[in-house]
Amino acid sequence: MDRMLTINIFRYNPQDPASKPHMQSYSIDETESMTLFIALNRIREEQDPSLQFDFCCRAGICGQCAMVINGRPNLACKTKTKDLPDQITLLPLPFFKLIGDLAVDTGTWFREMNTHIESWVHTHKTFDPNAEEERMDNATAEQIYELDRCVECGCCVAACGTARMREDFLGAVALNRIARFILDPRDKREEKDYFDLIGNDQGIFGCMGLLGCEDVCPKNLPLQDQLGFLRRKMGLFALKDLRSGRKHTCTCQGS
Ligand code: SF4
Ligand code: SF4
Ligand code: FES
């Protein structure tokens, strides 16, 4: 390990009226198994304590360290410097509100998204703390678990062309979450309920299907499969519903 890395970092503090957006370069010697998370912490400790970026777990679990790394959204703690050239450019995720430098507020967006799609199991059962756990078929549980691995990092939203054009687009992460509840036998919502949530341009019919989301997802979620599954399911529901004569209310906003 004898490389010197140059890390070019976007700097801007929206809280400081004197601050102007600019790039700042830092040099750092590369060490064995260095991740960008380690490099950024060393820069902050050894060179510039004012540098802002987020992290919590350093293990690809909290989703807090997402940023644009040489043009692609990814997690800083999962990115090894040995896999990058010696010139590295770091930008904050677009789309989300900037807190400062590389730190963005994904939490507010995710809370609003989860509230909007009612991201919880809808059941008519009353909770009984003494009841025995209900078993779920293993194959179904595994399918749900696969989709539940999302760490809400925001990379898929940052890479999404539709999200850049319309702020109210729910994004692949919300659509993946809906697919997870459709699979869940405990959730008693019906097709019509899901259609009312995502059967519009804000949801599945706004997606242009270019799959930037799946390309950048650091957890390798099968987003493409879920988008295809939902597009077919909601499309078929709309057809059936039109034949049955139910009126649809257009929720598009000027598109
Ligand atoms: S496939 Fe759809 S959700 Fe994924 S990045 Fe493209 S427009 Fe966004
Ligand atoms: S689907 Fe993937 S990219 Fe999108 S928020 Fe979840 S983990 Fe991140
Ligand atoms: S620090 Fe938690 S995902 Fe990177």
Q: Is the pLDDT of residue 81 over 50?
A: yes
Ligand 2 atom 5 nearest Cα: 152
pLDDT above 90 covers what percent of the chain?
A: 87
> Which pLDDT belongs to residue 253?
43
Which of 46-55, 131-140, 243-252 holds the top average pLDDT?
46-55
For residue 43, pLDDT beyond 50:
yes
Average pLDDT, the chain: 93
Distance 78 CA to ligand 3 centre (A): 8
Mutational test site, ligand 3, from 40, 44, 77, max ligand atoms within 8 Å of CB: 77
pLDDT at 139 over 90: yes
d(CA 147, CA 164): 24
In the predicted structure, residue 251 carries a pLDDT above the cut 60: no
Probe target for ligand 1 pocket from 113, 198, 211, 221, with the most ligand atoms within 8 Å of CB = 211
Q: Which residue is associated with the tokens 């050894």?
A: 46
pLDDT of 65 > 70? The answer is: yes
116-127 as b/e, with b when 16 or more CB fall inside 10 Å? ebeeeeeeeeee
Please report which ligand is nearest the Cα atom of 175.
1
Question: Is the pLDDT assigned to residue 243 strictly greater than 50?
Answer: yes
53 pLDDT above the threshold of 70: yes
Residue 218 — pLDDT band, cuts 50, 70, 90? very high
Report how far ligand 1's centroid is from the alpha carbon of 193 (Å).
22
Percentage of residues of the chain with pLDDT beyond 70: 95
Q: 137 alpha carbon to ligand 1 midpoint, in Å?
A: 31
pLDDT exceeds cutoff 80 at 1: no
Q: What stretches of 131-186 show up as alpha helix (H) in DSSP? A: 138-147, 155-158, 161-165, 171-183
Residue 249 has a pLDDT of 53
Whether residue 252 has pLDDT greater than 80 = no
Q: Which atom of ligand 3 is nearest to the CA of 77?
A: 4
> Which amino acid residue places its CA nearest to atom 5 of ligand 1?
160
Minimum mean pLDDT range among 35-44, 142-151, 241-250: 241-250
DSSP letter for each residue of 4-64: EEEEEEEE--TT-TT---EEEEEEEE--TT-BHHHHHHHHHHHT-TT-----S-SSSSS-T
Ligand 1 within 6 A of 204 CB? no
Q: What are 97-121's pLDDT values in tens digits?
A: 999 999 999 999 999 999 999 999 9
Neighbours of 161 (CB within 10 A): 12
